């Protein structure tokens, strides 16, 4: 959508939240330099602790692959066929960081990187270093596993972001040349490939390119890829039959095995009742669907977005926002199947869920979408990175035990400490790009209405000199102040989100208490006056939560939440085993903020009962006895996102409930 001068639109957001400033500074100071070192194979690290490192002996080689493709270095491609995307996501994260932290030294590196990528790109716009270096005759011939469009999609996203942040035209040109190459090769016209990539991503990337260039061709191509999904269930097999149906021909080991559900390609999107398959594929596809639907109004897509959203959020999501219930195929399983200890909860899936929520907010003004976005930002996604910015989770469990991870093969994918890097390193830079772009997740402007959906303190400037300054100490305190300046006294409405976790709130506008009706999670205020002062006080009581009793894994358990933050019990604060504690639904809780702990966190204590451990001389099974010794104690809990930054020990979000 073209922003005309006289149309209300957002111009700039400066994050002032202490919580988010710390993370955003961390990305600038530690995460970006560290990840660049790793991708250049200059960091003294090892991926050997990654339980899924596929026996790889190098850490990354991602930049080297580009150098080889550009003819600047000799050698073979190394790593996954989508290894390039680590570099692209990093580049995108760096691009966003320039919006709040211009850095000439870093920009030299990223400008050079754009030059390298441009040199690696072929004359026809194609760029996927694995195929260029080691399998040029197989380009676009095995799309089930090739990730070529996924890979180019990630560059397109990065190229657009980089162009928008720095004005570097070459960055955008590489992206358009890539998209043109894809457009020439894919479609239903004669001579084109009537297919699609096994991993969605290109759909959202092309829509983004459409936004940046206003060239309809890219939106149509994105729409084509969505419409084509599942239209020809034989497509992948037909390609594989020609390319070679044997293990040695596989580009990713084992990737011929999953059925089409894993690839979300078993049937057309409009026929798919619920989202199934690989969790990251699901959320990337959903993001693309919502994004394309926003510009095309395609009703089938809109319906699918709502259907998929409802199923994901109401039936397949962990309390922390994580999704993906099984390591088999890194996938969703079925409604209410939410095991806490064998789960997957990939960081990328939470990041992708935040993308999906953001797009849904463009479709409908519903607080529910912003609630999930917040859940990801403060829990499921954020837990993917350590407080030092140099260690990462791929899998984010809600219950973990180092002994079980080591000795039970069904839990070997669950780490209880974050890793330096991964054989498949999709998550670290994905989270980095979310954090550096968090300023883009706070507002949606629809006509003359501004929706403010997050309580992340910021100063936002809109057209017509309209300014909103939000101050708070969130997520630790619930007093949210908004100072609105509207010097031209334009007729504008401000929609303030009332989060699902705070049905009770108080609202004061210019000192007057107001009792506005909440409409789909927002209250709407007239902000036409030159200045408006708003105070929103949210309910920050500690809450003991329960799951829908259809969730087997959480039956008879409670979790603890305060504001948007979900808490976890860790062995670092509580003598193990954590499963021997029980918490009553009305247990007394306390809350205090501790500056010196985990970079400053709110700490909760909850009264608990602990059963005395039985002797290992006792028989394994005996009739139930009432004589088991219990002692009154308390559990100390810290925010889930901050777990595993101290002792390598047990952790549990859900706690056994004590029934009186
Ligand atoms: O397939 C590319 C990426 O690798 C996926 O998005 C992640 O889940 C990981 O499997
Ligand atoms: Zn990932």
Which residue among 52, 327, 331, 346 has the greatest number of ligand 1 atoms within 8 angstroms of its CB, and so is best to mutate?
346
CA of 61 to the centre of ligand 1 (A): 17
Task: Look at ligand 1, atom 1, and give the residue with the nearest C-alpha.
Answer: 199
Please answer whether residues 96 and 149 qualify as being in contact, where contact means their C-beta atoms are separated by less than 8 angstroms. Answer: no
Strands of 409-492 (E only): list them: 443-446, 449-452, 458-462, 467-471, 479-485
Rounded CA separation 269/281 (Å): 13
| Atom of ligand 1 at shortest range from CA of 199 | 1
Exposure string (b/e) for 238-256, b if CB count within 10 Å is 16 or more? ebbeebeeeeeebbbeebb
Exposure string (b/e) for 437-460, b if CB count within 10 Å is 16 or more? bbbebbbbbeeeebbbbbbbbbeb
Residues 6 or more apart in contact with residue 135 via CB below 8 angstroms: 251
Task: Look at ligand 1, atom 9, and give the residue with the nearest C-alpha.
Answer: 426
Please answer whether residues 494 and 453 qualify as being in contact, where contact means their C-beta atoms are separated by less than 8 angstroms. Answer: no
Q: Which residues pair with 611 in a beta bridge?
A: 630
| Atom of ligand 1 at shortest range from CA of 252 | 1
CA of 352 to the centre of ligand 2 (A): 10
Q: List, as one string, the DSSP characters of 330-349.
A: GB--STT---SSS----HHH
Q: Is the CB of 332 under 6 A from ligand 1?
A: no
Please answer whether residues 582 and 570 qualify as being in contact, where contact means their C-beta atoms are separated by less than 8 angstroms. Answer: no
SS3 category, 657? strand
Residues in the chain: 660
Please answer whether residues 243 and 138 qualify as being in contact, where contact means their C-beta atoms are separated by less than 8 angstroms. Answer: yes
Rounded CA separation 532/508 (Å): 10
Please answer whether residues 168 and 114 qualify as being in contact, where contact means their C-beta atoms are separated by less than 8 angstroms. Answer: yes
Q: Is the CB of 280 under 6 A from ligand 1?
A: yes
Q: Which residues pair with 631 in a beta bridge?
A: 610
Is 426 an active-site residue?
Answer: yes
Residues 6 or more apart in contact with residue 644 via CB below 8 angstroms: 386, 393, 400, 416, 417, 418, 570, 651
* 300 φ/ψ angles, rounded to the nearest 5 degrees: -65, -40
Residue 121 CB neighbour total at 10 angstroms: 23
Q: Find the catalytic residue in 368, 426, 570, 634.
A: 426
Rounded CA separation 494/533 (Å): 12
Sign of CA dihedral 509, 511, 512, 516: positive
SS3 category, 501? coil
CA of 280 to the centre of ligand 2 (A): 8
Question: Tokens representing 22?
Answer: 């710390």
| Atom of ligand 1 at shortest range from CA of 278 | 8
CA of 275 to the centre of ligand 1 (A): 17
CA of 244 to the centre of ligand 2 (A): 28
Q: Which residues pair with 562 in a beta bridge?
A: 542, 565
* 17 φ/ψ angles, rounded to the nearest 5 degrees: -60, 125
| Atom of ligand 1 at shortest range from CA of 279 | 8
pLDDT tens digit sequence for 158-181: 999 999 999 999 999 999 999 999
Closest CA to 317 of 277, 279, 262: 279
CA of 262 to the centre of ligand 1 (A): 12
Residue 89 CB neighbour total at 10 angstroms: 27
**Residue 3: its pLDDT value, please?**
45
Rounded CA separation 155/69 (Å): 15
Which residue among 348, 394, 421 has the greatest number of ligand 1 atoms within 8 angstroms of its CB, and so is best to mutate?
348
pLDDT tens digit sequence for 43-64: 999 887 888 777 777 889 999 9
DSSP 29: I
Mean pLDDT in order along the chain per 10 residues (660 residues): 68 98 98 98 88 80 98 97 98 98 98 98 98 98 98 99 98 98 98 98 98 98 98 97 96 93 97 97 98 98 98 98 97 98 98 98 98 98 98 98 97 96 97 98 97 98 97 98 98 98 98 96 98 98 98 98 98 98 97 98 98 91 83 98 97 95
Taking the alpha carbons at both ends of the chain, their separation in whole angstroms is 59
On the 0-12 / 13-18 / 19+ scale of CB atoms within 10 A, 40 is middle
Is 330 an active-site residue?
Answer: yes
Distance of CA 499 to the CA centre of its chain: 20
Q: Is the CB of 413 under 6 A from ligand 1?
A: no
Longest dimension (CA), the chain: 80
Query: What pTM was estimated for this model as a whole?
Result: 0.97
Question: Tokens representing 193?
Answer: 């490939």
Residues 6 or more apart in contact with residue 338 via CB below 8 angstroms: 316, 317, 318, 325, 547, 551, 553, 554
Q: Is the CB of 425 under 6 A from ligand 1?
A: no
Tell me the helices (H) and strands (E) count for the chain, helix number first.
18, 21
Distance of CA 550 to the CA centre of its chain: 26
Q: Is the CB of 348 under 6 A from ligand 1?
A: yes
SS3 category, 629? coil
| Atom of ligand 1 at shortest range from CA of 82 | 2
Question: Tokens representing 609?
Answer: 């009962």
Alpha helices in 40-147 (DSSP H): 62-69, 84-98, 104-120, 129-134, 143-146
Residue 271 CB neighbour total at 10 angstroms: 10
Radius of gyration, CA atoms only, the chain: 25
On the 0-12 / 13-18 / 19+ scale of CB atoms within 10 A, 473 is middle
**Residue 5: its pLDDT value, please?**
54
Q: Is the CB of 235 under 6 A from ligand 1?
A: no
Task: Look at ligand 1, atom 3, and give the residue with the nearest C-alpha.
Answer: 426
* Helix 279-296 vs helix 347-363: crossing angle, to nearest 10: 20
H/E element holding 309?
Answer: helix 299-315
Q: Is the CB of 370 under 6 A from ligand 1?
A: no
Sign of CA dihedral 653, 554, 318, 50: positive
CA of 190 to the centre of ligand 2 (A): 36
Rounded CA separation 113/25 (Å): 22
Alpha helices in 121-274 (DSSP H): 129-134, 143-146, 148-166, 169-185, 202-213, 216-228, 235-243
Sign of CA dihedral 54, 140, 231, 273: positive
Q: Is the CB of 201 under 6 A from ligand 1?
A: no
Residues 6 or more apart in contact with residue 197 via CB below 8 angstroms: 143, 146, 147, 148, 149, 150, 225
Q: Describe the chain by its helix, strand, coil percentages, rounded to 5.
A: 40, 20, 40
SS3 category, 418? coil
């Amino acid at each position: 959508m073209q922003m005309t001068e006289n149309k209300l639109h957002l111009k700039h957001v400066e994050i002032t939240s202490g919580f988010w400033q710390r993370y955003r500074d961390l990305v600038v100071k530690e995460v970006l330099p560290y990840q660049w070192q790793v991708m250049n194979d200059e960091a003294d690290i090892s991926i050997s602790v990654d339980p899924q490192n596929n026996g790889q002996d190098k850490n990354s080689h991602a930049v080297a692959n580009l150098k080889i493709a550009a003819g600047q270095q000799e050698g073979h491609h190394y790593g996954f066929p989508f290894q390039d995307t680590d570099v692209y996501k990093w580049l995108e994260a760096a691009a966003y960081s320039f919006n709040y932290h211009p850095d000439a030294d870093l920009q030299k590196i990223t400008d050079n990187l754009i030059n390298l990528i441009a040199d690696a790109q072929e004359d026809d716009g194609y760029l996927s270093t694995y195929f260029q270096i080691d399998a040029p005759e197989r380009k676009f011939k095995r799309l089930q596993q090739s990730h070529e469009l996924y890979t180019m999609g990630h560059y397109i996203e990065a190229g657009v972001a980089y162009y928008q942040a720095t004005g570097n035209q070459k960055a955008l040109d590489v992206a358009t040349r890539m998209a043109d190459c894809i457009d020439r090769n894919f479609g239903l016209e004669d001579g084109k490939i009537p297919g699609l990539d096994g991993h969605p991503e290109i759909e959202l990337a092309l829509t983004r390119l459409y936004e940046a260039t206003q060239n309809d061709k890219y939106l149509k191509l994105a729409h084509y890829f969505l419409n084509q999904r599942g239209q020809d269930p034989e497509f992948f097999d037909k390609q594989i039959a020609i390319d070679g149906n044997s293990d040695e021909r596989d580009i990713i080991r084992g990737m011929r095995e999953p059925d089409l559900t894993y690839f979300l390609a078993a049937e057309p999107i409009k026929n798919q009742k619920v989202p199934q398959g690989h969790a990251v594929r699901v959320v990337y596809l959903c993001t693309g669907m919502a994004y394309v639907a926003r510009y095309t109004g395609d009703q089938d897509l809109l319906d699918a977005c709502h259907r998929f959203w409802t199923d994901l959020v109401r039936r397949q999501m962990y309390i922390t926002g994580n999704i993906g219930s099984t390591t088999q195929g890194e996938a969703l399983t079925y409604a209410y199947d939410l095991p806490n200890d064998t789960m997957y909860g990939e960081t990328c899936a939470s990041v992708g869920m935040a993308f999906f929520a953001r797009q849904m907010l463009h479709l409908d003004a519903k607080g529910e979408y912003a609630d999930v976005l917040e859940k990801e930002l403060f829990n499921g996604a954020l837990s993917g990175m350590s407080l030092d910015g140099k260690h990462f989770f791929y899998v984010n469990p809600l219950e973990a035990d180092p002994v079980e991870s080591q000795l039970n093969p069904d839990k070997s994918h669950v780490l209880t400490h974050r890793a330096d890097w991964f054989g498949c390193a999709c998550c670290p830079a994905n989270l980095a790009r979310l954090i550096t772009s968090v300023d883009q997740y706070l507002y949606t402007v629809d006509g003359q209405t501004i929706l403010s959906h997050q309580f992340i303190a910021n100063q936002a400037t809109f057209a017509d000199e309209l300014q909103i300054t939000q101050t708070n100490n969130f997520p630790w305190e619930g007093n949210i102040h908004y100072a609105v300046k509207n010097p031209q006294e334009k007729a504008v409405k401000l929609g303030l989100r009332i989060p699902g976790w705070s049905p009770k709130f108080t609202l004061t506008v210019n000192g007057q208490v107001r009792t506005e009706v909440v409409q789909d999670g927002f209250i709407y205020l007239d902000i036409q006056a030159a200045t408006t002062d708003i105070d929103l006080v949210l309910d920050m009581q500690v809450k003991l939560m329960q799951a829908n009793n259809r969730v087997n894994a959480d039956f008879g358990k409670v979790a603890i939440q305060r504001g948007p933050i979900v808490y976890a019990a860790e062995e670092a604060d509580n003598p193990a085993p954590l499963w021997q504690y029980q918490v009553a639904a009305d247990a007394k809780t306390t809350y205090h903020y501790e500056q010196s702990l985990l970079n400053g966190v709110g700490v909760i204590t909850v009264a608990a009962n602990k059963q005395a451990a039985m002797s290992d001389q006792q028989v394994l099974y005996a009739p139930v006895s009432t004589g088991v010794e219990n002692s009154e104690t308390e559990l100390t809990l810290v925010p889930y996102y901050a777990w595993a930054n101290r002792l390598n020990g047990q952790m549990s979000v859900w706690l056994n409930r004590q029934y009186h």
